[in-house]
Structure 1
Amino acid sequence: MYAQALNAVLERLAAAARDAGRPVPRLLAVSKTHPATAVAEMASALRAAAASGTTVTAVAPGPAFGENYVQEALAKQQALTPGKTLEWHLIGHLQSNKAREAAAAFDWVQTVDRDKLVAALARHRPDGLPPLNVLVQVNIDDEAGKHGCTPGQVPALAVAIAAQPRLLLRGLMAIPAPHPDLERRREAFIRMKALFDALATQHPQVDTLSMGMSEDIELAVAEGATMVRVGTALFGRRD
């Protein structure tokens, strides 16, 4: 049931990348609040798109899903058979007391924004799993009440992550302020790309800039996103 919506998003990504002269970014399907059955159906649609050669880079190396809450993700993983064949990204704020579960359940944590969380995730990442992929979340528009570090805190936090053998620094993530004027969002994306480029000069393994959602993915792609987080355009609006 999701094939049509998925194809529409893949076409948007391909067109945006072509127009901007940039690579097609990876697609993260944001499945928060949607049931495990929806995840399973979307995973099948993603695999079919990859097999057909449709914008393969957007759906490689396999279906990836973004969740806001640890417990919700765990329930879906347990309901799916087996849930760990999918790639799971935590894209919501992580409390330190949930770090043990998150470190074991997720392949990526995109919302690391403080030293305490770095230490907790590294301590609890199981030895039998590969290093946990980590993105630093940046509060790029300095919004009150929004999680994320300041741009000036990125270098030190990146050094702390890179020093942990059980973690792998992959890049940056941001949720710019939802300005009705999309050009205001473009400014935030431009600042994030500059911050990302500066980080990559210090940490050669950095390769991921996660920004852009359903309504502004074209802007994000134009300004250098390598991963976009799409929920509504794939699954429909949440209740």
Structure 2
Amino acid sequence: MTTIADRLAIAQHRIAQAAQKCARQPNSIRLLAVSKTKPIEDIIAAYHAGQRYFGENYVQEGMAKILELKGHYPDIEWHFIGPLQSNKTNIVAQYFDWMHTVSRDKIALRLNEQRPISMAPLNVCIQINISDEESKSGIDAEQMLPLAQLIAQLPHLTLRGLMAIPTATENSALQVQEFTKLKELFEQLKQHYPHIDTLSMGMSNDLDTAIACGSTMVRIGSAIFGERDYSA
């Protein structure tokens, strides 16, 4: 039976192989371990195997884990990667290090207002609806620069880049098309904000394509922690 440490090592090896295929340095791509619905013990196991970046999709669950772990594991970097209602922005602002899914002015403004002055600015990514699916969160490409301009003026937020959830498909040509589009938007944004460094795209089933198209952060959950149990 494989352990979390084993599966984490396999994921890291996949990232390294994908990077080498497109002449990139493996350390230019960060692995974000998506720990939603998983118990504290699984996060600790991944931590002891060297993992430091964890992604959570649910506000209350993420906050509970952060509160339980921050005393013993203060170097964990917590990323919020799920949809966020405006009435819960205070939790993300007060507890998380990163927010990947900013797609509205209102959310950005509330996160900025609610970020404690004692904390470093909240790192944020703008979520793009790269597949143009009505069911997906994120903004259209033409809305990217106006939202970036707002974020850049907010002192308690730091714009880090873009994030997207592409079409769930086995069609590699469509994967390449959507990832390439996001990479082009990233380069466009970088012309205005040279400090941005994060292109958050790619998951377990498409990370090779995402890395070939320029991803700097891949989000991997079940391949590390096993299938999720949503019954709770």
TM range (shorter): over 0.9
User: Distance in 1 between the 2:31 and 2:170 partners?
Assistant: 24
The percentage of aligned residue pairs carrying the same residue is 46
Distance 1:190 1:226 in 2: 13
Cα-to-partner distance string for 1:123-165 (whole Å, 9 max, x where unaligned): 0000000000000000001101211011110000001001001
Q: Could you tell me which of 109, 122, 125 is aligned with 2:99?
A: 109
Q: Within the alignment, does 1:26 sit opposite 2:30 as a pair?
A: yes
How many residues are paired up?
224
Matched, 1:204 2:194: yes
Aligned to 2:65: 76
Question: Pick from 38, 43, 49: which aligns with 2:47?
Answer: 43
Query: Does the CA-based 8 Å contact 1:77-1:84 persist in structure 2?
Result: no
| AA in 2 matched with 1:87 | E
| Alignment-derived partner of residue 9 in structure 1 | 11
Corresponding residue for residue 122 of structure 2: 132
Could you tell me which amino acid in structure 2 is paired with residue 46 of structure 1?
G
> Quick check: 2:70–2:76 contact (8 Å CA) kept in 1?
no
Query: Contact 1:107–1:133 (CA<8 Å) still a contact in 2?
Result: yes
Write the distance in 2 (CA, Å) between the matches of 1:8 and 1:186: 23
Matched to 1:150, the amino acid is D
User: Does the 8 Å CA contact 1:22/1:224 hold for their aligned counterparts?
Assistant: no
CA drift at 1:232: 1.2
Alpha-carbon distance in structure 2 between the residues aligned to 1:22 and 1:191: 19
For 1:179-190, list aligned pairs within 5 A: 179-190=169-180
Q: Is it true that 1:66 corresponds to 2:29 in the alignment?
A: no
Question: Is the CA contact 2:141–2:185 (under 8 Å) kept in the aligned structure 1?
Answer: yes
Distance 2:139 2:25 in 1: 28
Amino acid aligned to 1:75: A
* Structure-1 residue corresponding to 2:210: 220
Could you list the structure 1 runs, at least 4 aligned residues long, displaced by more than 6 angstroms after superposition.
none
Partner of 1:169: 159
Report the CA distance between 1:79 and its aligned residue: 2.5
Aligned equivalents of 2:187, 2:59: Cα separation in 1: 30
Contact 2:130 2:178 in 1 (8 A): yes
User: SS where residue 50 of structure 2 aligns?
Assistant: helix
> 118, 140, 161: which one pairs with 2:108?
118
Is residue 96 of structure 1 aligned with residue 96 of structure 2? Answer: no
Q: 3-state DSSP class of the match of 1:168? A: strand
TM-score by length of 2: 0.94
CA distance in 1, matches of 2:206, 2:8: 16
d(CA) in 1 for partners of 2:91, 2:80: 11
